[in-house]
Amino acid sequence: MNQIATTQHQTDLSAHPGKGWVRISGLSVVFGEGATQTIALTATDLELQAGTFTALIGPSGCGKSTLLNAVAGFTAPTEGSVQVDGRNVNGAHPSVGVIFQNFALFPWFTARGNVEFALKRFGLSKNERRERAMEALGEVGLSDHATKFPGQLSGGMKQRVAIARTLAADPDVLLMDEPFGALDAQTRLRMHELLTGIWMRRRKTVLFVTHDVDEALRLADVVYVMASAPGRIIEKVSVDLERPRPVDRMSEGFLTLRSTLLGLLRHED
């Protein structure tokens, strides 16, 4: 009896996965026409289980941003489909939050103002917006900098504001396109700790684009390796390393995975 119940439960889970489930089927994206045509992505299938952390790595121009933009609804598929929680993505939609490398903050708003502005569409009162913004800024360690303007903040702090802004809106899926690419090595490491903490607490589905193998291995459950011309996924590598993953104590498992990934990328150059 128990066994049947368990089996039933598992069946239900796969039929109705949790929120933040992404399915990409036969996705192709072609830019331009004729001689100037670029196949940015071809026949790509990818499934992200709810609450998992996935990294996409690959050389510049292999379609990483195109794939992420298709999930965000910013880029329409030429062929195939993208579904989030079983619904087709046909344009920008609120179940995803997107974080770019260049922060995309409004310079004329304070840190808190930037987060509050993103909450306008939720029909909250001014006080509720402020409360939620302060909560999110607290989560990224910026409570004491809420009234500063982006120009007064370091790169790492600006990116933390951008993360707070996204968290405040509470999307099911976080899409991050080389978010720490412009930060110095030390700040990057702190951002990895911060993001790992947020992910472990909130268990959002994360799709994280990077071309840094170590960054992918420090953060993700699964790494997909992409290749270019045409853009496509060539390999899936599972990362079953315990979290947190400190950089000063790289395990043998980490080093093995690193050489696997570097080998795959080298092969692609």
Interaction site with Mg ion (CB under 5 A): 65
CB of 51 to ligand ADP, least distance (A): 25
CB atoms inside a 10 Å sphere around CB 264: 19
Residue burial 52-86, b: 16+ Cβ < 10 Å; e: rest:
bbbbbbbbeebbbbbbbbbbbbbbebeebebebbe
Nearest residue relative to Mg ion (C-beta): 65
Stretch in the footprint of ligand ADP (CB under 6 A) among 60-68, 87-95, 153-161, 247-255: 60-68
Asked if the peptide bond before residue 230 counts as cis, ω within 30 degrees of 0, the response is: yes
Tell the smallest beta-carbon distance from residue 48 to ligand ADP (Å). 18
Under the criterion CB under 6 A, does residue 55 sit at the interface with ligand ADP?
no
- Of 57, 62, 111, 220, the one binding ligand ADP (CB under 6 A) is 62
d(CA 47, CA 176): 17
The listed partner (ligand ADP, Mg ion, none) that binds 40, CB under 5 to 8 Å by sort, is ligand ADP
Residues from 65 through 84 that contact ligand ADP (CB under 6 A): 65-66
Residue 61 found at the interface with ligand ADP (CB under 6 A): yes
Which residue in the set 32, 94, 244, 263 belongs to the binding site for ligand ADP (CB under 6 A)? 32
Residues that contact ligand ADP, how many (by CB under 6 A): 13
Does position 40 bind ligand ADP by CB under 6 A?
Answer: yes
Choice between 63 and 179, CB closer to ligand ADP? 63
- Please, what is the minimum distance in Å from the beta carbon of residue 29 to Mg ion? 13
Interacting stretch for ligand ADP, rule CB under 6 A, among 32-40, 132-140, 190-198, 251-259? Answer: 32-40
The listed partner (ligand ADP, Mg ion, none) that binds 179, CB under 5 to 8 Å by sort, is none
d(CA 49, CA 27): 18
Q: Strands of 22-31's sheet, edge to edge?
A: 38-48, 22-31, 79-84, 87-88
35 in contact with ligand ADP (CB under 6 A): no
CB of 64 to ligand ADP, least distance (A): 3
Q: What are the residues facing 176 on neighbouring strands?
A: 99, 208
Binding site for ligand ADP (CB under 6 A): 31-32, 38, 40, 58, 60-66, 231
